[in-house]
């Protein structure tokens, strides 16, 4: 069903047979915000139905890759926020308990889930839209192969510097493809990504400082945030390795663990590369456990 006017602004909902309102798990797909589909989450539906938990998959608008993107990741995150609010607005119709909502996803969907978990409530109480008035706070969030923050300039100092101090922003931005991806990610003109100094200066302007702060999960985390589950199976490869994955490196969840623990947020994590395993089950077990309380 549509939750907005764009063809990609649609939601699939699976509902268990229940005489009372059920918890809800919302899935956000991965794909670097440039590809992917809500159907990637269908494999979890049967387990949730058996547990008496509803499932919804939210499709969202993607970043344009032809050099014309002018909104950036805020567009994608905003759609996913609206999908959550839409489901809460029609909770009675879906027989959903709006106070027991969890979110999950992998990669871009993981970051989206953590952004919703850590961001202060984005409900617009004075809006004429009943959807926009709904709370965006969730009961729990699960993230697999996540990024630590969408303030990408924090990756070097906050994520990688502890183990790989030579991987500086200057090194990352020396690559034209990285600069182009970063410009697209924040909706900056591709022309401003021609050299690193121009791009960095643009990202230091007040508008982009505010933009980066609003999508900075590490900066948003606080003691009142819900429990989170973090899982990354990737190896601890060095930046000099051909297999180095800057987007899904296990140092991302390790940074999140550090910040969440310091803030007092309950975390369950499985990060194989660092021998971290504090969770007895998988993401669905974690969400079901918190939503059925």
Q: Is 70 exposed, middle or buried (0-12, 13-18, 19+ CB in 10 A)?
A: exposed
Locate the domains of the chain by residue range.
11-150+217-291, 153-213
- Among the CATH numbers 3.40.30.10, 3.40.50.300, 3.10.450.50, 3.40.50.1820, which is that of 11-150+217-291? 3.40.50.1820
Q: Is 282 exposed, middle or buried (0-12, 13-18, 19+ CB in 10 A)?
A: middle
pTM for the complete prediction?
A: 0.97
Residue 142's pLDDT is what?
A: 98
- pLDDT by 10s per residue, the chain, length 293: 999 999 999 999 999 999 999 999 999 999 999 999 999 999 999 999 999 999 999 999 999 999 999 999 999 999 999 999 999 999 999 999 999 999 999 999 999 999 999 999 999 999 999 999 999 999 999 999 999 999 999 999 999 999 999 999 999 999 999 999 999 999 999 999 999 999 999 999 999 999 999 999 999 999 999 999 999 999 999 999 999 999 999 999 999 999 999 999 999 999 999 999 998 899 999 999 999 97
Residue 233's pLDDT is what?
A: 95
Q: Are 158 and 180 in contact (CB under 8 A)?
A: no
Region of residue 257 (phi > 0: left; psi between -120 and 50: alpha; otherwise: beta): alpha
Residue 127's pLDDT is what?
A: 97
Q: Using CA atoms, how far apart are residues 182 and 85, in angstroms rounded to an integer?
A: 28
């Amino acid at each position: 069903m549509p939750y907005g006017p764009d063809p990609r602004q649609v939601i699939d909902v699976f509902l268990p047979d229940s005489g009372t309102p059920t918890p809800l798990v919302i899935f956000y797909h991965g794909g670097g915000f440039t590809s992917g589909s809500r159907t990637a989450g269908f494999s979890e539906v049967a387990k949730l139905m058996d547990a008496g938990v509803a499932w919804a998959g939210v499709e969202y608008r993607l970043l344009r890759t032809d050099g014309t993107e002018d909104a950036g990741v805020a567009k994608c995150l905003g759609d996913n926020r609206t999908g959550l609010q839409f489901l809460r607005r029609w909770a009675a119709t879906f027989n959903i308990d709006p106070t027991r909502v969890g979110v999950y996803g992998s990669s871009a969907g993981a970051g989206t889930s953590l952004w919703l978990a850590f961001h202060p409530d984005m409900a617009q109480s004075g809006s004429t839209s009943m959807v926009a008035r709904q709370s965006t706070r969730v009961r729990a969030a699960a993230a697999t192969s996540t990024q630590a923050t969408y303030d990408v300039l924090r990756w070097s100092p906050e994520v990688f510097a502890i183990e790989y101090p030579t991987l500086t922003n200057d090194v990352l931005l020396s690559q034209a493809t990285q600069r182009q991806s970063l410009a697209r990610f924040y909706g900056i003109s591709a022309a401003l990504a021609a050299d690193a100094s121009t791009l960095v200066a643009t990202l230091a302007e007040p508008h982009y400082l505010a933009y980066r702060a609003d999508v900075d999960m590490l900066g948003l985390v606080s003691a009142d945030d819900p429990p989170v589950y973090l899982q990354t199976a990737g190896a601890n490869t060095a930046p000099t390795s051909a297999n180095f994955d800057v987007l899904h490196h296990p140092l991302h969840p390790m940074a999140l663990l550090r910040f969440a623990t310091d803030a007092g947020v309950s975390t369950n994590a499985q990060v194989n590369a660092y021998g971290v395993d504090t969770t007895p089950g998988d993401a669905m077990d974690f969400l079901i456990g918190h939503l059925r309380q």
